[in-house]
Amino acid sequence: MQEDPKRRNLKLSMTPLIDMVFLLLVFFMLTTSFIKKEGLAFSQSTSKDQTSQSSNADKFILISLEEKGTLLVNKTRSHINNFIKIIKPLLTHDGTQRIFIQILGSPKVQDLVTVVDMLNIAGVTNITFIDSSRGQNYLLGGT
């Protein structure tokens, strides 16, 4: 039997195939995230038990930053100008108390920077930010 000359000269080049394999490899390496960025979900307690509220108040301070520079410091409403007067008595002397900053609405970024600067001046080193934009609260790590 005689072979067809077209089939005999037809060679399959592996170079484009290898190029595509490497392109797919690079694509999946760049788009895959191996670190799952997820926060710790929690719910804000609305219980009326005074003893649990007082013991929790000693452990951490919740600062909710609202629009127009309005703050809620452990459910006490204040303006950003009076923040340092309200926060000083609540802080421990060693500065190890945990501070949670929650953003409500869409406040100015400068207000958030001002609050963090005031906390740093007061000696606070343990600040955690809370993301409430997804309907639930997620802790986002901090300093």
Q: Which pLDDT tens digit goes with each residue over 26-81?
A: 999 999 877 766 555 555 544 444 444 444 445 788 888 888 778 888 888 888 88
- CA angle (61 as vertex; 57, 66 as ends), nearest 5: 130
Q: Which residue has the higher pLDDT, 82 or 6?
A: 82
C-alpha 91: how far from its chain's center?
A: 23
Q: List all residues 6 or more positions away from 69 whose beta carbon is below 8 Å from its beta carbon.
A: 79, 80, 81, 107, 108, 111
pLDDT confidence bin for 138, thresholds 50/70/90: low
Residue 40 has a CB neighbour count (10 Å cut-off) of: 11
pLDDT of residue 77: 85
Confidence at residue 99, expressed as pLDDT on a 0 to 100 scale: 85
- Residue 6 in this model has a pLDDT that exceeds 70: no
Q: How confident is the model at residue 19 (pLDDT cuts 50, 70, 90)?
A: very high
What is the model's pLDDT at position 7? 62
Most confident option among 38-52, 78-92, 129-143:
78-92
Percent of the chain with pLDDT over 90: 10
pLDDT score, position 33:
78
